[in-house]
Amino acid sequence: MKAVVYYGVDNMLIEDVPIPKIGAQEVLVEMKACGVCGSDLMDWYLKTRAPLVLGHEPSGIVAKVGSKVREFDVGDRVFAHHHVACLTCYYCRHGAYTLCEQFTQTHLEPGGFAEYFKVPAPNLQTDTLKLPQELSFEEATLVEPVGCCIRALNKCNIQASDSVVVVGAGPSGIIHTMLLRILGASQVIVTDFVDYRLKAAKRFGADLTVNPEVESLIEAVKKATDGRGADIVIVTAPNINAYLAGIELCRKGGTLCIFAPTQPEDFMRLSPNKLFFSEIKLVPSYSTSHIETRVALKLIQTKRIDAKKLITHRFPLNKTAEAFQTAARNKECIKLVVLNEQ
């Protein structure tokens, strides 16, 4: 079968690889659509594992089932989550599923950017979801990223009266904006350096958009919040300066959500004195679990999250490298999807 093998952001090759063999409790899925994630573009995060097949936002059709599989049949339309928790360890018992040791050890084989991928038994049992017939494979690729955003907002304990700043209007920033509208946030402010993305944020529910190259972000947020600052700031940009700005944008007692990782060698200076007396809370949120993916699927199915409107670019599997270049360099895009149309 054909698979896209990642050697680097600028070095991705279509190669012939074996179709994965499945065990008794596993299934083989024919990939139909797979989203390109921002983490797929982080070379520092991936280079030590290359070569590898990326793609963790896939949907498709079950092509083969193991002899002991009872819940799925050939022909089922599915979303499969790439990481799943064991549900029994210390972290799982405390609801911290993404910190479970099994979580990062489970993955789809070889990855979503391939004609077929294997769903291992833990992934199949815990977080492989059947798709309603009316939901397209393209829309289903948004289950995982929407789930990530749902988890972050749940951890931030959003209240209906909250003013929220979203730093970065890429796919995650736009999804956060849509969810904040659903959750009833009183004011959603989105900031980005790209006017195309700010216009998109407006379409998807932002009350106010700010380009820091044009006006002072801190002054705009202070003005919009009666001088207090935001109740919650969600940083979706993997940038130290974005986090430093986020601290300044928070009101006393506010929450800064760490939603995007920086490179390991990046550090920022924070004063414990300032954190102590301001009581600003730092809330990291990594990935998503089987809890949020089900909520995400329902929101997409009912069109409360209109996934189709988020998808701006589509590429065939043999042009996955072009999809990555577009995601990395074209500022006038939101969500990109790779399609396997045989």
In tens, the pLDDT along 5-17 reads 999 888 999 999 9
Which three-class secondary structure state does DSSP give residue 329? helix
- The number of distinct structural domains making up the chain is 2
Strand residue runs (E) in 17-146: 27-35, 52-53, 58-65, 77-80, 116-119, 128-130
* 136: in domain: yes
Query: In this structure, what CATH number is given to the domain that contains residue 99?
Result: 3.90.180.10
Strands 27-35 and 2-8: unpaired
pLDDT in tens, 204-233: 999 999 999 999 999 999 999 999 999 999
Q: Are 183 and 105 in the same domain?
A: no
pTM of the model: 0.96
* pLDDT higher than 70, residue 79: yes
Look at residue 129 and tell me whether its pLDDT is greater than 90: yes
211 and 262 in one domain? yes
How many whole angstroms separate alpha carbon 168 and alpha carbon 42? 16
* pLDDT score recorded for residue 342: 61
- How many Cα atoms within 13 Å fall on the side-chain side of residue 25? 7
Check whether residue 108 and residue 172 sit in a common domain. Answer: no
CATH number of the domain to which 180 belongs? 3.40.50.720
Q: Is residue 41 part of a domain?
A: yes
* 298 within a domain of the structure (yes/no): no
- Vertex 297 angle, CA 282 and 172, to 5°: 40
Where in the sequence is the domain holding 136, given as residue range(s)?
2-142+305-339
For Cα atoms 200, 294, 198, give the angle at the middle one, nearest 5 degrees.
10
